[in-house]
Amino acid sequence: MTLDIETVREVKRLIDKKINNISEQIIYGTIDNYEKLQYSRGQISSLSQLKEDLSELLRDEEWQKLI
């Protein structure tokens, strides 16, 4: 599987932006009930895992180029 490194980096940047937006909503109180808080926490968790998976794929791809 080949990955365009710049595309992966851009996706990771967008994920960071989304995580920051959700975090700000939690911090500044725009989330008004427990269910929304739990949902937002789940989004952050899922996005963080996706970012980690992309980082791992990117490392694997770069490693394969060295071989």
> pLDDT tens per residue, the chain (67 residues)?
566 788 888 999 999 999 999 999 999 988 889 999 999 999 999 999 999 999 998 888 766 666 5
Which residue is it, tokens 């980082």?
A: 55
Token look-up 């500044």 returns 28
pTM to 2 decimal places: 0.83
The shares of helix, strand and coil residues in the chain, as percent rounded to the nearest 5, are 85, 0, 15
So where are the chain's domains? Answer: 5-66
Q: Do the Cβ atoms of 11 and 58 come closer than 8 Å?
A: no
